[in-house]
A and B are shown apart, each in its own frame.
Chain A
Amino acid sequence: MVIYGTALLAACLVVGQIAGRLLGMLLGIDANVGGVGIAMLLLILVTSRLERSGRLAETTRGGILFWSAVYVPVVVAMAASLDVRGAFSRGAVAILAGLAAAAAGFAMVPLLCRAVSAPASLPPDEAAASGDAA
Chain B
Amino acid sequence: MKTPALKNKQGLGSPAELKYPMIAIALAFIYIASGFIAPKDPSGFNLNGFSELPVLHGGRVKPLDTVARTSLLMLRGKQTLRIGERRQSASEWLLDALYFPQRSDSAPLFEIDDPDVLGSLGILQSSNRYYSFDAISPSLTAVEQQAQMADQVKPDQRSRFQRSIIKLQSRVMLYQKLQNTIQVMGEDHIVQNLRNLGLNARDKTGPDAAHMLEHYQFLAMAAEFRPLPDQHAGSNQNNWSSVGQGILNSIAAGKANEMALDYAVMGDAYRSGDSAAFNGALSDLQNKMKGLIPEELFRVKFEKGFNQVEPFYRAMALYLCVFLLTLFSWFSPKGTLRSAAFYLILFTFAVHTTGLASRMVIQGRPPVTNLYSSAIFVGWMAVLLAAILERLYKNGMGNVVGSVIGFSTLIIAHHLAVEGDTLEMMRAVLDSNFWLATHVVCITIGYSSTFLAGFLAIVYIIRRRFSAVWDSETADSLERMVYGIVCFSAFFSFLGTVLGGIWADQSWGRFWGWDPKENGALMIVLWNAFILHARMGGIADQKKTMLLAVFGNVITALSWFGVNMLGIGLHSYGFMDQAFVWLTAFSVSQIAIIALGAWPDHYDLQPKTLRKI
State yes or no: do A and B come from one complex: no
Using CB atoms and an 8 Å cutoff, list the residues of chain B in contact with chain A: none
Using CB atoms and an 8 Å cutoff, list the residues of chain A in contact with chain B: none
